[in-house]
Amino acid sequence: MAAQMMRQRAAGATAPRAARQASATKIVLGARPALRLAPAVNQAPKRAGAVRPVAAQSTKEKQDAGVRQMLGMKGAGDETDLFKIRVQLTKPVTWVPLIWGVICGAAASGNYVWNDPTNVAQLLTCCMMSGPFLTGYTQTINDYYDREIDAINEPYRPIPSGKISEEAVVSQFLGLLGLGLGTAALLDVWVGHETPILFGLAVFGSFISYIYSAPPLKLKQSGWAGNYALGSSYIALPWWAGQALFGTLSVDVMVLTVLYSLAGLGIAIVNDFKSIEGDRKMGLQSLPVAFGVDAAKWICVSTIDVTQLGVAGYLAFGLHENTYAAVLLGLILPQMFFQYKYLLADPIKYDVKYQASAQPFLVFGLLTTALCIGHVNAAAGL
């Protein structure tokens, strides 16, 4: 009798356990069919307070992915809205350095009046030309010609994911090019240029953007030429536009900014680390592919640091502006620290952390140099 009762209790305990396991299996299959099933005991929380707020976290993750999508950053969300996709193609996050370059050029002119409404309106228009229009054109045409590489490195991008047609992409970069060139011509008229220098700079920059991305030249296939073209487009060209808008471009400033663009070459190398796999498969000789990760990270660090130290030396010994030189030196040192902490440690893993930590010091160093040039020009009455 006792044995019979024990068998009944065992059977009663087994049945609910089997039902719970079956129920947990159905829940897992319905929610995440791609996942391998875990034992039922791992699916049920031990207490109510241990339940993970999945809905809240997934909503936040979706919001973060949506922001990255709109900015054109890595890890974008699965967006289907055509307007947002078009914005993503222009990579708004890349507008900032160009806009900053225009501001630096205006400061370097020695003639820009920061509280003058007309000057402010002209500066904002020039920033629109360099940022959303011409940088947007550059990024869109680059995505168009990189669609096969992006299918490997960043398959969520609009073209390889099939979210926008190639015809729509072509119409977009042609439209942005037209807006950029038209705005440049308008600015030349607005400030009374006898020679359309801003229009000429816009045409030159657009041409560099085209041969950087498109065959047969496709400069980005060559690590040195491609990275320098990118670096000069981010530093020298917008600076020239801002300075030409409010003052006169001198040969010494043009040479200085061309040399400063070597720092931009180093920044471009940072962006290449995340694309090694796709670049190698497509035969692109980026510096990390050509020299290996270890050598490329040292080339990157050297070009960024040596360039800025050279500029600091020029400010101190060439222009005799010791205060500006000291400020620039103070902005270089934190960059070196973050290079040691992130870039030299693991440039693939920490590329985003490095750029977020170090690049603000670089761009303020650029502004420091521009303010120094502007101070010298204003003193000389140029």
Q: Which residues contact 125 (CB under 8 A, 6 or more apart)?
A: 183, 186, 187, 190
pLDDT score for 227? 86
Range in 119-123, 268-272, 302-306 the model is least confident about:
268-272
Q: Which residues contact 162 (CB under 8 A, 6 or more apart)?
A: none
Per-residue pLDDT of 272-329, as tens digits, reads 898 888 888 887 788 999 999 999 999 999 999 999 999 999 999 999 999 999 999 9
- Looking at the whole model, is its pTM more than 0.75? yes
CATH architecture for segment(s) 86-380? Orthogonal Bundle (1.10)
More confident residue, 27 or 134: 134
pLDDT score for 221? 82
- Greatest mean pLDDT among 90-94, 204-208, 231-235 lies in 204-208
Q: Can you tell me the mean pLDDT for 2-18?
A: 47
For 307, other C-beta atoms within 10 Å of its C-beta total 22
Per-residue pLDDT of 327-371, as tens digits, reads 999 999 999 999 999 999 999 999 989 999 999 999 999 999 999
- The answer to whether 139 and 89 are in contact (CB under 8 A) is yes
Q: Decide if pLDDT at 10 tops 60.
A: no
Per-residue pLDDT of 226-238, as tens digits, reads 889 988 988 999 9
Distance from C-alpha of 29 to C-alpha of 208, rounded to nearest angstrom: 53
Per-residue pLDDT of 134-151, as tens digits, reads 999 999 999 999 998 888
How would DSSP label each residue in 236-273? HHHHHHHHHHHS---HHHHHHHHHHHHHHHHHHHHHHG
Q: Decide if pLDDT at 27 tops 70.
A: no
More confident residue, 63 or 227: 227
- Helices and strands (H and E) in the chain: how many: 18, 0
Cα distances (angstroms) measured from residue 251 to each of 315, 318, 338: 16, 15, 34
